[in-house]
Amino acid sequence: MKIKEQIKQLVPASLLHHVQMFKASQKFDRASKIDKDRYLKNAAVIFPEDDEETIKAALLFHTHAIEKGLSHPNFRPNFGHTALASLASLSSKYVASGYSVDAFEFQNYLSVLKAYKERHEHLNISTPYFDKLFRHVGYRNATDMAGVSTISRDSSECRKINYLDLMQCRHSVREYSDEKVLKSQIESAASCLPLTPSVCNRQPWKVTTMMDSEKISTILKLQGGFKGYNLPPALSIISTSDASFRGIDERNEPYVEGGLVLMSYLLGLTAENLASCTLNMMLDQERMNEIRKVYQLPESETMIALVAIGHFKESYYIAKSKRRDPADVCNFLE
């Protein structure tokens, strides 16, 4: 018997439990500090925003605030002074810094100004505060990408879609045929990702896909949960940008957004008739850093999960993974 096991038998169970809890607590504190330091370094914790990524994220944040006001059933003329002032300040800083005015976030900002002004003009309402802030901004020729849309319940195409059918087709598949996965197939599967719900329309997601077999092998050895299976033709990683978030209270949002977009990606792959399997990133910091290096992800990206991808074989085994009855997870409060 090993010395360590002999000591365990001699030490009282209660004392051993306390020692184990102390060691676990220390490990938890170290991991938490790493996460905290990385978030504080990369998120817009202290305003104002002062780099390209945090300014872009803030432009989306305040643009969405204006869109929500425009969509309100009880429209309040000249609303949103705080959001408008922030947009004016952020856009000035953005332009002065020489960042691209063709960027999605900046074009979205111009479009929401156009929507705001046109809504008031349609109602014959003057906008003195708005005009003072943006009289020199060329928003009149902006696209209609921002603003509001009208949706009719009876005409909605969504009524024809059976979401449950798609969900029931999705399984975690770990064996794939030898057929090559094309970049165009990944792009098609990922085309649904921008439609994923996102807090204040931040859209902080990124999907990075590896198709090099040697690098895939390196990553899977580090991850450790794909042993005994042949290499998948493609291996994606889902990540979210910490720079998209604001303040301490949003510290968990990178994981919420990442989980949402991961599900969208899995369903997109299923709709594209590609097999896939999610592989967790619950790893120690050393292995996380190595995977980050292989994928060339900056420190500001929170890594959410890996997704192995391939074509279906003629037949294959999957774990049944029996699910709970819907009644067990759907609760109502009177």
Q: What residue ranges do the domains of the chain occupy?
A: 52-134, 163-310
pLDDT at 168: 86
pLDDT at 203: 93
Q: 163-310 belongs to which homologous superfamily?
A: NADH Oxidase (3.40.109.10)
Longest dimension (CA), the chain: 88
pLDDT at 153: 57
pLDDT at 157: 56
pLDDT at 314: 87
207-255: per-residue pLDDT in tens? 999 999 999 999 999 999 998 899 999 999 999 999 898 888 888 999 9
| 116 CA to centre of own chain | 28
Q: Walk along the chain (334 residues) in steps of 10 and give the mean pLDDT of each run.
A: 69 78 84 84 71 90 93 91 96 95 95 96 96 95 90 58 83 92 96 94 95 97 92 97 88 94 96 94 94 96 96 84 86 89
pLDDT at 162: 80
pLDDT at 36: 85
pLDDT at 324: 84
Question: Which residues, 6 or more positions from 106, have their beta carbon under 8 angstroms from its beta carbon?
Answer: 56, 59, 91, 94, 99, 100
| Burial group, residue 245, by CB count within 10 angstroms (0-12, 13-18, 19+) | buried
C-alpha 207/C-alpha 278 separation (Å) is: 13
C-alpha 204/C-alpha 198 separation (Å) is: 8
pLDDT at 161: 65
Instruction: Flag whether the pTM goes above 0.85.
Output: no
